[in-house]
Amino acid sequence: MKIYKYIRHKPFSVNYESNYTILELASLFLTTDNESIVILKDKKPIYIITNTDLINYFLQKDSELTVKQIMDKYPKNIILINKDEDIYNAYKRMRSLAIEHLLVIDDDGSFLGEVFQKDLVMMFVEYALKDELTGLNNSRFLETIIQKYNGSNTHIGVIFLDIDDFKHFNDDFGHKIGDDVIKAVADKIRDSIREVDFGFRYGGDEFVIMIFEQNKEVVLKIAQRIFDKISNIKSNYYDKIGVSIGVAMYPDDNKDLKEVIKLADKELYIAKNSGKGKIESVN
C-alpha cells in the first residue's frame, strides 16, 4: 500500500518569500484548524512549524520574529518521504526517528501533504479488524465480540447469511464479478443495520450479523429487510442474487454465544436444503 493514499488533508503552507511573522502564523493556526504549517520554497518543503513550536516561540518571546529568522534561530531537519513509499516502511521510519509525522512529496520534490503516525496506527488497527474486500468486520473481530458478550445478559439476535449458488457467479462471470456480488451483499447488510449492530464477513460468501437488544420479531424483520434489499440488487451481468438466512437468539436459544451462531448456521442450512432463498429461525 502506497503512502499517498493515506495523506491527511494538505496542511496549510506558506511561501518562504512571504516571510510571515510568528504572530501572523499563529493567527493562521486559529483560522485553518491545522496542526502544522509547512514552509515552501519553489513548491518544495524546507521547514515545518507545529503548534508545539508556536508555544515555544511565544515562551521565548519570539513572536515578532519572521519565518526566516525563526529558521536561522531554530534549524531543523525535515523528514520527507516519496508518495510511492510503502506505508509500513513509512511507519517504521517514524518509529525509528521518534517523530509523529512525515511530509509527503511528489517525484519532483513538490509538497503533497502530511502523514501522521497516529493515523497510520488507526489504519493498521482497522485493517486488522476489517475485511479488506467488503469493509465489514472480519472473523477475527467476531471472536473479540464473542469474548466480550459471552456470558452477559445482553440480548443479541444472530443472523447467518449465505449467498445461494455463489459458485455460479465465479464460474459463469469470473472472479471479479464474484467479488462484486460479495461487495454488493455487504453494502445491503451495512445499509440495513444500525451503528450499534455489527456485520461480519464470516468467510467466503458467508456473513454474520449481530443485532443488539431487540426481540426476535424485530430481528426477523431486519433479516427480511436484508433479504429484500439483496433480492432487489440489479446488475448488467446477472438477474438476481439469492440468499438463505438462519436466525437464532442469544441468550434465549442458548447461553453460549458461539452455540447461538452455530444454531443460526444450522437454520441457514435448513433454508438451503428446503429450496434456498428462505429465512429460517430457531422455534
Q: Tell me which residues are annotated as active site.
A: 205
What is the distance between the alpha carbons of residues 104 and 115, in angstroms, rounded to a whole number? 7
Q: How many helical (H) and strand (E) elements, i.e. helices and strands, does the chain have? A: 10, 11
SS3 (DSSP) at 237: coil
What is the distance between the alpha carbons of residues 81 and 3, in angstroms, rounded to a whole number? 9
β-strand pairing of 12-15 with 111-116: unpaired
SS3 (DSSP) at 146: helix
Q: What angle do CA 20, 106, 52 make, to 5 degrees?
A: 40
* In the block, residue with C-alpha cell 502564523: 25
Q: What angle do CA 251, 254, 256 make, to 5 degrees?
A: 85
Phi-psi bin for 135: left (phi > 0), alpha (psi -120 to 50), beta? left
Rounded to whole angstroms, what are the CA distances from 24 to 37, 54, 93, 113, 245? 12, 11, 33, 22, 62
